[in-house]
Protein backbone atom coordinates (compact mmCIF):
# COMPACT_ATOMS: atom_id res chain seq x y z
CA UNK A 1 0.00 0.00 0.00
CA UNK A 2 1.44 3.35 -1.07
CA UNK A 3 0.82 6.71 0.56
CA UNK A 4 1.54 10.30 -0.46
CA UNK A 5 4.76 12.14 0.32
CA UNK A 6 3.12 14.45 2.86
CA UNK A 7 1.57 11.49 4.68
CA UNK A 8 4.88 9.64 4.68
CA UNK A 9 6.61 12.69 6.11
CA UNK A 10 3.98 12.95 8.85
CA UNK A 11 4.64 9.32 9.79
CA UNK A 12 8.40 9.96 9.84
CA UNK A 13 7.94 13.13 11.89
CA UNK A 14 6.00 11.18 14.53
CA UNK A 15 9.19 9.15 15.03
CA UNK A 16 11.26 12.30 15.45
CA UNK A 17 12.73 12.30 11.93
CA UNK A 18 13.62 15.80 10.66
CA UNK A 19 11.37 16.85 7.76
CA UNK A 20 10.51 20.35 6.51
CA UNK A 21 7.30 21.90 7.85
CA UNK A 22 4.41 21.76 5.42
CA UNK A 23 0.67 21.54 4.81
CA UNK A 24 -1.27 19.60 2.20
CA UNK A 25 -3.75 21.55 0.03
CA UNK A 26 -6.67 20.49 -2.13
CA UNK A 27 -7.48 23.95 -3.48
CA UNK A 28 -5.57 27.07 -4.49
CA UNK A 29 -6.98 28.93 -1.48
CA UNK A 30 -5.71 26.24 0.88
CA UNK A 31 -2.30 26.49 -0.79
CA UNK A 32 -2.14 30.26 -0.25
CA UNK A 33 -3.25 29.80 3.38
CA UNK A 34 -0.56 27.17 3.85
CA UNK A 35 2.13 29.54 2.59
CA UNK A 36 0.90 32.24 5.00
CA UNK A 37 0.92 29.79 7.93
CA UNK A 38 4.45 28.65 7.05
CA UNK A 39 5.78 32.20 6.67
CA UNK A 40 9.22 32.81 5.21
CA UNK A 41 10.14 33.81 1.66
CA UNK A 42 10.50 30.51 -0.18
CA UNK A 43 8.05 27.66 -0.57
CA UNK A 44 8.16 24.32 -2.37
CA UNK A 45 4.89 23.47 -4.13
CA UNK A 46 4.82 19.72 -4.68
CA UNK A 47 2.33 17.63 -6.64
CA UNK A 48 1.12 14.65 -4.61
CA UNK A 49 0.71 11.53 -6.74
CA UNK A 50 1.74 7.95 -6.06
CA UNK A 51 4.65 8.11 -8.46
CA UNK A 52 8.16 9.48 -8.38
CA UNK A 53 10.07 11.60 -10.85
CA UNK A 54 7.73 14.53 -10.25
CA UNK A 55 10.51 17.11 -10.29
CA UNK A 56 11.48 16.22 -13.85
CA UNK A 57 7.88 15.51 -14.90
CA UNK A 58 5.83 17.62 -17.32
CA UNK A 59 2.16 18.52 -17.31
CA UNK A 60 0.08 17.55 -20.32
CA UNK A 61 -2.02 20.70 -20.31
CA UNK A 62 -0.26 23.78 -21.72
CA UNK A 63 -1.98 26.04 -19.14
CA UNK A 64 -0.08 24.20 -16.39
CA UNK A 65 3.09 25.85 -17.64
CA UNK A 66 6.49 24.47 -18.58
CA UNK A 67 7.74 23.76 -15.07
CA UNK A 68 7.60 20.28 -13.50
CA UNK A 69 5.60 18.73 -10.68
CA UNK A 70 7.80 20.27 -7.96
CA UNK A 71 8.16 24.05 -8.10
CA UNK A 72 9.88 26.61 -5.94
CA UNK A 73 7.94 29.81 -5.22
CA UNK A 74 9.62 33.04 -4.08
CA UNK A 75 6.37 35.00 -3.68
CA UNK A 76 3.07 33.96 -2.05
CA UNK A 77 1.34 34.82 -5.38
CA UNK A 78 3.48 32.17 -7.07
CA UNK A 79 2.32 29.56 -4.56
CA UNK A 80 -1.23 30.38 -5.69
CA UNK A 81 -0.26 30.38 -9.35
CA UNK A 82 1.59 27.04 -9.17
CA UNK A 83 -1.27 25.52 -7.14
CA UNK A 84 -3.84 26.56 -9.74
CA UNK A 85 -1.60 25.25 -12.54
CA UNK A 86 -1.06 21.87 -10.89
CA UNK A 87 -4.44 21.05 -9.38
CA UNK A 88 -6.71 19.22 -11.80
CA UNK A 89 -3.99 18.84 -14.43
CA UNK A 90 -2.16 15.73 -15.56
CA UNK A 91 1.43 15.14 -14.54
CA UNK A 92 3.48 12.75 -16.67
CA UNK A 93 6.68 11.37 -15.12
CA UNK A 94 9.02 8.47 -15.87
CA UNK A 95 7.01 6.42 -13.40
CA UNK A 96 3.43 7.32 -14.36
CA UNK A 97 3.63 6.10 -17.94
CA UNK A 98 2.38 8.27 -20.83
CA UNK A 99 -1.17 8.49 -19.42
CA UNK A 100 0.10 10.46 -16.42
CA UNK A 101 -1.83 11.16 -13.21
CA UNK A 102 -4.24 13.94 -12.43
CA UNK A 103 -2.94 15.99 -9.50
CA UNK A 104 -5.71 16.32 -6.92
CA UNK A 105 -3.67 17.42 -3.94
CA UNK A 106 -0.45 19.29 -3.45
CA UNK A 107 1.94 19.85 -0.58
CA UNK A 108 3.22 23.26 0.42
CA UNK A 109 6.50 23.17 2.31
CA UNK A 110 8.86 25.73 3.72
CA UNK A 111 11.71 26.16 1.24
CA UNK A 112 15.01 24.71 2.33
CA UNK A 113 18.43 25.86 1.16
CA UNK A 114 20.08 22.74 -0.21
CA UNK A 115 23.86 22.37 0.02
CA UNK A 116 23.99 18.65 -0.87
CA UNK A 117 21.59 15.90 -1.93
CA UNK A 118 22.00 12.23 -0.97
CA UNK A 119 20.01 9.08 -1.69
CA UNK A 120 18.78 6.91 1.17
CA UNK A 121 16.30 4.08 1.23
CA UNK A 122 15.32 1.20 3.46
CA UNK A 123 13.81 -2.02 2.22
CA UNK A 124 13.30 -5.64 3.18
CA UNK A 125 16.29 -7.52 1.82
CA UNK A 126 14.89 -11.01 1.36
CA UNK A 127 18.24 -12.60 0.65
CA UNK A 128 19.72 -11.39 3.94
CA UNK A 129 16.41 -11.71 5.77
CA UNK A 130 16.85 -8.22 7.21
CA UNK A 131 15.95 -4.63 6.69
CA UNK A 132 18.71 -3.00 4.67
CA UNK A 133 19.59 0.63 4.08
CA UNK A 134 20.79 1.69 0.66
CA UNK A 135 22.84 4.87 0.68
CA UNK A 136 24.51 6.92 -2.02
CA UNK A 137 26.13 10.31 -2.23
CA UNK A 138 24.53 10.60 -5.68
CA UNK A 139 21.16 11.93 -4.52
CA UNK A 140 18.31 13.75 -6.19
CA UNK A 141 18.66 11.74 -9.38
CA UNK A 142 17.34 8.54 -10.80
CA UNK A 143 18.86 5.84 -8.56
CA UNK A 144 18.36 3.12 -11.19
CA UNK A 145 20.73 5.09 -13.42
CA UNK A 146 23.29 5.43 -10.62
CA UNK A 147 23.05 1.68 -9.91
CA UNK A 148 23.61 0.94 -13.59
CA UNK A 149 26.36 3.44 -14.44
CA UNK A 150 28.26 3.78 -11.15
CA UNK A 151 27.36 0.85 -8.86
CA UNK A 152 30.39 1.63 -6.66
CA UNK A 153 28.52 4.76 -5.50
CA UNK A 154 25.87 2.63 -3.78
CA UNK A 155 26.36 1.14 -0.32
CA UNK A 156 23.97 -1.44 1.13
CA UNK A 157 23.96 -2.01 4.88
CA UNK A 158 21.90 -4.89 6.30
CA UNK A 159 20.63 -4.38 9.85
CA UNK A 160 20.69 -7.16 12.42
CA UNK A 161 17.11 -7.40 13.76
CA UNK A 162 18.40 -8.30 17.22
CA UNK A 163 20.44 -5.12 17.65
CA UNK A 164 18.87 -2.62 15.27
CA UNK A 165 21.30 -0.22 13.56
CA UNK A 166 24.67 -0.27 15.34
CA UNK A 167 27.12 2.62 15.44
CA UNK A 168 29.23 0.70 12.94
CA UNK A 169 26.24 0.46 10.57
CA UNK A 170 25.49 4.17 10.74
CA UNK A 171 29.19 4.97 10.33
CA UNK A 172 29.22 3.01 7.06
CA UNK A 173 26.23 4.99 5.85
CA UNK A 174 27.86 8.30 6.84
CA UNK A 175 31.00 7.19 4.99
CA UNK A 176 28.89 6.44 1.91
CA UNK A 177 27.65 10.04 2.07
CA UNK A 178 31.18 11.32 2.65
CA UNK A 179 30.22 13.15 5.84
CA UNK A 180 31.84 13.28 9.27
CA UNK A 181 31.75 15.18 12.56
CA UNK A 182 28.40 16.70 13.48
CA UNK A 183 26.75 15.59 10.22
CA UNK A 184 27.79 11.99 10.86
CA UNK A 185 26.26 12.28 14.35
CA UNK A 186 23.01 13.56 12.80
CA UNK A 187 23.16 10.66 10.35
CA UNK A 188 23.53 8.17 13.22
CA UNK A 189 20.45 9.55 14.98
CA UNK A 190 18.50 9.73 11.71
CA UNK A 191 19.17 6.12 10.72
CA UNK A 192 18.11 4.86 14.15
CA UNK A 193 14.85 6.82 13.97
CA UNK A 194 14.17 5.72 10.40
CA UNK A 195 14.73 2.10 11.35
CA UNK A 196 12.31 2.49 14.22
CA UNK A 197 9.74 4.09 11.89
CA UNK A 198 10.25 1.40 9.27
CA UNK A 199 9.82 -1.58 11.57
CA UNK A 200 7.11 -0.19 13.88
CA UNK A 201 5.03 1.07 10.94
CA UNK A 202 5.44 -2.17 8.99
CA UNK A 203 6.86 -0.42 5.95
CA UNK A 204 7.98 -2.48 2.99
CA UNK A 205 9.82 0.41 1.37
CA UNK A 206 11.05 3.82 2.47
CA UNK A 207 12.85 6.02 -0.02
CA UNK A 208 14.29 9.41 0.77
CA UNK A 209 15.57 11.00 -2.38
CA UNK A 210 16.91 13.49 -1.70
CA UNK A 211 18.11 13.40 1.85
CA UNK A 212 19.61 16.87 2.03
CA UNK A 213 22.24 18.78 3.89
CA UNK A 214 21.00 22.35 4.31
CA UNK A 215 23.29 25.35 3.98
CA UNK A 216 23.25 25.65 7.76
CA UNK A 217 24.40 22.06 8.21
CA UNK A 218 21.20 20.13 8.96
CA UNK A 219 20.37 16.69 7.61
CA UNK A 220 16.70 16.72 6.49
CA UNK A 221 14.42 14.39 4.53
CA UNK A 222 13.30 16.50 1.55
CA UNK A 223 11.28 13.72 -0.08
CA UNK A 224 9.66 10.57 1.28
CA UNK A 225 8.18 7.64 -0.53
CA UNK A 226 6.58 5.16 1.87
CA UNK A 227 4.97 1.81 1.12
CA UNK A 228 3.38 -0.26 3.83
CA UNK A 229 3.27 -4.04 3.87
CA UNK A 230 -0.44 -4.77 3.33
CA UNK A 231 -0.10 -8.04 5.23
CA UNK A 232 0.12 -5.95 8.41
CA UNK A 233 -3.09 -4.04 7.70
CA UNK A 234 -4.91 -5.78 10.54
CA UNK A 235 -2.76 -4.05 13.15
CA UNK A 236 -2.84 -0.58 11.57
CA UNK A 237 -6.39 0.80 11.64
CA UNK A 238 -4.79 4.24 11.04
CA UNK A 239 -3.90 3.21 7.48
CA UNK A 240 -7.53 3.42 6.42
CA UNK A 241 -7.41 7.25 6.32
CA UNK A 242 -4.07 7.29 4.55
CA UNK A 243 -5.35 5.29 1.64
CA UNK A 244 -6.06 7.33 -1.51
CA UNK A 245 -8.37 5.19 -3.63
CA UNK A 246 -8.04 7.73 -6.46
CA UNK A 247 -4.45 6.56 -6.89
CA UNK A 248 -5.25 2.87 -6.93
CA UNK A 249 -6.31 0.66 -9.79
CA UNK A 250 -10.12 0.38 -9.82
CA UNK A 251 -10.07 -3.32 -10.52
CA UNK A 252 -7.64 -3.88 -7.66
CA UNK A 253 -9.91 -1.92 -5.29
CA UNK A 254 -12.88 -4.05 -6.35
CA UNK A 255 -10.81 -7.22 -5.90
CA UNK A 256 -9.69 -6.18 -2.42
CA UNK A 257 -13.36 -5.93 -1.35
CA UNK A 258 -13.69 -9.65 -2.01
CA UNK A 259 -10.30 -10.46 -0.53
CA UNK A 260 -9.01 -11.63 -3.91
CA UNK A 261 -5.30 -11.49 -4.68
CA UNK A 262 -5.46 -9.52 -7.90
CA UNK A 263 -2.81 -7.50 -9.69
CA UNK A 264 -3.59 -5.74 -12.96
CA UNK A 265 -0.98 -6.28 -15.71
CA UNK A 266 -0.61 -5.04 -19.30
CA UNK A 267 -1.24 -8.24 -21.28
CA UNK A 268 -4.24 -9.59 -23.19
CA UNK A 269 -5.08 -12.88 -21.47
CA UNK A 270 -7.21 -12.71 -18.33
CA UNK A 271 -6.43 -15.46 -15.84
CA UNK A 272 -8.60 -16.95 -13.13
CA UNK A 273 -6.62 -19.40 -11.07
CA UNK A 274 -6.68 -20.87 -7.58
CA UNK A 275 -3.45 -20.77 -5.65
CA UNK A 276 -0.64 -18.24 -5.99
CA UNK A 277 1.86 -20.83 -7.23
CA UNK A 278 -0.49 -22.10 -9.90
CA UNK A 279 -1.27 -18.50 -10.88
CA UNK A 280 2.45 -17.81 -11.33
CA UNK A 281 2.89 -21.00 -13.35
CA UNK A 282 -0.11 -20.04 -15.50
CA UNK A 283 1.39 -16.63 -16.21
CA UNK A 284 4.73 -18.21 -17.08
CA UNK A 285 3.22 -20.69 -19.51
CA UNK A 286 1.14 -17.98 -21.21
CA UNK A 287 4.36 -16.04 -21.76
CA UNK A 288 6.10 -19.22 -22.87
CA UNK A 289 3.59 -19.63 -25.70
CA UNK A 290 4.03 -16.05 -26.79
CA UNK A 291 1.26 -14.01 -25.13
CA UNK A 292 1.06 -11.83 -22.02
CA UNK A 293 -1.20 -12.17 -18.96
CA UNK A 294 -3.64 -9.30 -18.28
CA UNK A 295 -3.61 -9.97 -14.58
CA UNK A 296 -2.49 -12.09 -11.71
CA UNK A 297 -5.53 -13.50 -9.93
CA UNK A 298 -5.64 -16.05 -7.17
CA UNK A 299 -9.21 -16.74 -5.99
CA UNK A 300 -7.80 -18.67 -3.06
CA UNK A 301 -8.59 -22.05 -1.56
CA UNK A 302 -11.92 -21.43 0.09
CA UNK A 303 -13.46 -19.43 -2.75
CA UNK A 304 -17.25 -19.40 -2.72
CA UNK A 305 -19.50 -18.72 -5.68
CA UNK A 306 -19.82 -14.97 -4.95
CA UNK A 307 -16.07 -14.57 -4.85
CA UNK A 308 -15.53 -16.42 -8.13
CA UNK A 309 -18.32 -14.42 -9.72
CA UNK A 310 -16.73 -11.14 -8.56
CA UNK A 311 -13.35 -12.29 -9.82
CA UNK A 312 -14.69 -13.22 -13.23
CA UNK A 313 -16.56 -9.93 -13.54
CA UNK A 314 -13.35 -8.01 -12.81
CA UNK A 315 -11.62 -9.87 -15.65
CA UNK A 316 -14.57 -9.30 -17.99
CA UNK A 317 -14.50 -5.57 -17.23
CA UNK A 318 -10.90 -5.21 -18.44
CA UNK A 319 -10.95 -3.85 -22.01
CA UNK A 320 -7.44 -5.20 -22.63
CA UNK A 321 -8.61 -8.77 -22.15
CA UNK A 322 -8.80 -10.56 -25.51
CA UNK A 323 -9.26 -14.04 -24.05
CA UNK A 324 -9.70 -15.72 -20.67
CA UNK A 325 -7.98 -18.73 -19.24
CA UNK A 326 -9.54 -20.43 -16.24
CA UNK A 327 -7.12 -22.81 -14.61
CA UNK A 328 -8.44 -24.55 -11.52
CA UNK A 329 -6.90 -27.37 -9.62
CA UNK A 330 -9.63 -28.28 -7.16
CA UNK A 331 -8.21 -29.26 -3.79
CA UNK A 332 -9.95 -27.29 -1.10
CA UNK A 333 -11.59 -25.28 -3.87
CA UNK A 334 -14.36 -27.24 -5.58
CA UNK A 335 -14.66 -27.27 -9.36
CA UNK A 336 -18.48 -27.12 -9.24
CA UNK A 337 -18.41 -23.97 -7.12
CA UNK A 338 -15.93 -22.32 -9.48
CA UNK A 339 -17.99 -23.32 -12.52
CA UNK A 340 -21.20 -21.98 -10.96
CA UNK A 341 -19.51 -18.63 -10.22
CA UNK A 342 -18.24 -18.30 -13.77
CA UNK A 343 -21.63 -19.16 -15.30
CA UNK A 344 -23.36 -16.65 -13.03
CA UNK A 345 -20.92 -13.87 -13.97
CA UNK A 346 -21.30 -14.57 -17.69
CA UNK A 347 -25.09 -14.63 -17.41
CA UNK A 348 -25.01 -11.17 -15.89
CA UNK A 349 -22.23 -9.55 -17.91
CA UNK A 350 -22.07 -11.54 -21.15
CA UNK A 351 -18.80 -12.59 -22.73
CA UNK A 352 -17.41 -11.69 -26.13
CA UNK A 353 -13.91 -13.15 -25.92
CA UNK A 354 -12.76 -16.77 -26.16
CA UNK A 355 -12.77 -18.71 -22.91
CA UNK A 356 -10.56 -21.71 -22.22
CA UNK A 357 -11.34 -23.73 -19.11
CA UNK A 358 -9.18 -26.33 -17.51
CA UNK A 359 -10.73 -27.93 -14.45
CA UNK A 360 -9.12 -30.70 -12.46
CA UNK A 361 -9.62 -32.19 -9.02
CA UNK A 362 -12.46 -32.11 -6.50
CA UNK A 363 -15.93 -32.34 -8.12
CA UNK A 364 -14.49 -31.91 -11.60
CA UNK A 365 -17.33 -33.85 -13.28
CA UNK A 366 -20.02 -31.74 -11.62
CA UNK A 367 -18.09 -28.62 -12.63
CA UNK A 368 -17.88 -29.65 -16.25
CA UNK A 369 -21.57 -30.55 -16.22
CA UNK A 370 -22.52 -27.09 -14.93
CA UNK A 371 -20.59 -25.50 -17.79
CA UNK A 372 -22.10 -27.85 -20.39
CA UNK A 373 -25.63 -27.20 -19.08
CA UNK A 374 -25.12 -23.45 -19.25
CA UNK A 375 -24.59 -23.55 -23.00
CA UNK A 376 -21.54 -21.35 -22.54
CA UNK A 377 -19.15 -21.44 -25.47
CA UNK A 378 -16.10 -22.88 -23.77
CA UNK A 379 -12.93 -24.33 -25.21
CA UNK A 380 -12.16 -27.27 -22.94
CA UNK A 381 -8.56 -28.13 -22.11
CA UNK A 382 -6.99 -31.25 -20.64
CA UNK A 383 -4.00 -29.85 -18.84
CA UNK A 384 -2.13 -26.62 -18.23
CA UNK A 385 -0.03 -26.81 -21.38
CA UNK A 386 -3.01 -27.64 -23.56
CA UNK A 387 -4.97 -24.80 -21.96
CA UNK A 388 -2.21 -22.25 -22.53
CA UNK A 389 -1.71 -23.32 -26.16
CA UNK A 390 -5.44 -23.06 -26.82
CA UNK A 391 -5.96 -19.62 -25.31
CA UNK A 392 -2.88 -18.17 -27.02
CA UNK A 393 -4.04 -19.65 -30.36
CA UNK A 394 -7.54 -18.25 -29.82
CA UNK A 395 -6.22 -14.77 -29.07
CA UNK A 396 -3.44 -14.61 -31.64
CA UNK A 397 -5.12 -16.63 -34.34
P1 LIG B 1 10.46 13.59 -7.11
O2 LIG B 1 11.03 14.22 -8.35
O3 LIG B 1 9.09 13.04 -7.33
O4 LIG B 1 11.38 12.58 -6.50
O5 LIG B 1 10.26 14.80 -6.06
P6 LIG B 1 11.27 15.42 -4.98
O7 LIG B 1 10.51 15.66 -3.75
O8 LIG B 1 12.51 14.59 -4.84
O9 LIG B 1 11.64 16.81 -5.61
C10 LIG B 1 12.46 16.93 -6.77
C11 LIG B 1 13.62 17.90 -6.54
O12 LIG B 1 13.11 19.17 -6.14
C13 LIG B 1 14.53 17.48 -5.41
O14 LIG B 1 15.54 16.59 -5.85
C15 LIG B 1 15.13 18.78 -4.95
O16 LIG B 1 16.28 19.08 -5.71
C17 LIG B 1 14.05 19.79 -5.31
N18 LIG B 1 13.38 20.28 -4.10
C19 LIG B 1 12.41 19.65 -3.38
N20 LIG B 1 12.05 20.39 -2.32
C21 LIG B 1 12.80 21.52 -2.34
C22 LIG B 1 12.91 22.67 -1.53
O23 LIG B 1 12.23 22.85 -0.51
N24 LIG B 1 13.80 23.62 -1.90
C25 LIG B 1 14.58 23.50 -3.01
N26 LIG B 1 15.43 24.45 -3.33
N27 LIG B 1 14.51 22.41 -3.80
C28 LIG B 1 13.64 21.43 -3.49
MN1 LIG C 1 12.54 12.42 -4.92
What are the beta bridge partners of residue 44?
Answer: 72, 109
pLDDT tens digit sequence for 155-174: 999 999 999 999 999 999 99
In this prediction, residue 43 carries a pLDDT of 98
Averaged pLDDT for residues 245-250: 88
Q: How far is CA 150 from CA 28, 153, 155, in A?
A: 42, 6, 11
Q: Say whether pLDDT at 365 is over 90.
A: yes
Task: Name the band, by pLDDT with cuts 50, 70 and 90, for residue 47.
Answer: very high
- Listed in sequence order, the residues at least 6 apart from 393 whose beta carbon sits closer than 8 Å to its beta carbon are none
pLDDT tens digit sequence for 196-220: 999 999 999 999 999 999 999 999 9
Pocket-testing residue among 7, 120, 210, ligand 1, by greatest number of atoms within 8 A of Cβ: 210
In this prediction, residue 333 carries a pLDDT of 84
In this prediction, residue 271 carries a pLDDT of 96
Residue among 317, 382, 389 nearest 353 (CA): 317
Cα separation, 20 vs 33, in Å, equals: 17
Ligand closest to Cα of 5 equals 1
Q: Say whether pLDDT at 303 is over 90.
A: no
What are the beta bridge partners of residue 376?
Answer: none
Pairing assessment for the beta strands 101-102 and 114-125 based on DSSP bridges: unpaired
Percent of the chain predicted with pLDDT > 90: 83
Catalytic residue of the set 5, 207, 268, 309: 207
Ramachandran sector of residue 32 (left: φ over 0; alpha: ψ -120 to 50; beta: rest): alpha
Residue among 314, 319, 302, 304 nearest 272 (CA): 314
Q: Which residue minimizes the CA distance to atom 6 of ligand 1?
A: 223
Pocket-testing residue among 18, 44, 52, 93, ligand 1, by greatest number of atoms within 8 A of Cβ: 44
Q: Is the CB of 120 under 6 A from ligand 1?
A: no
Q: Say whether pLDDT at 397 is over 90.
A: no
The chain-wide mean pLDDT, for the chain, equals 94
In this prediction, residue 142 carries a pLDDT of 80
Give the H or E element holding residue 329: strand 323-330
In this prediction, residue 62 carries a pLDDT of 97
Residues by chain with Cβ below 5 Å of ion ligand 2: 209, 223
pLDDT tens digit sequence for 8-19: 999 999 999 999
Residue among 177, 209, 170 nearest 55 (CA): 209
Q: What is the pTM of this model?
A: 0.82
pLDDT tens digit sequence for 307-349: 889 999 999 999 999 999 999 998 888 899 999 999 999 998 8
Helix, strand or coil for residue 132? strand
- Listed in sequence order, the residues at least 6 apart from 172 whose beta carbon sits closer than 8 Å to its beta carbon are 155, 157
Residue 207 bears catalytic tag = yes
Amino acid sequence: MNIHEYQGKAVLKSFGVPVPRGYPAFTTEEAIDAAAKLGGQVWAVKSQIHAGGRGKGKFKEPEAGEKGGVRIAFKPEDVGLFASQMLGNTLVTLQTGPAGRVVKRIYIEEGVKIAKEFYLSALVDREQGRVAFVASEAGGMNIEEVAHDTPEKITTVGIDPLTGPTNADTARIAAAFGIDGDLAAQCDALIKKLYDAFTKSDMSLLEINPLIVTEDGKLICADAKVSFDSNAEFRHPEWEELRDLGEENEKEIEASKYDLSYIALDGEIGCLVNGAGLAMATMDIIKHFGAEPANFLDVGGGADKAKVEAAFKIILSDPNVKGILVNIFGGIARCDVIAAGIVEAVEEEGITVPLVVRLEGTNVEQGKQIIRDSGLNVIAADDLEDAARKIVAAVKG
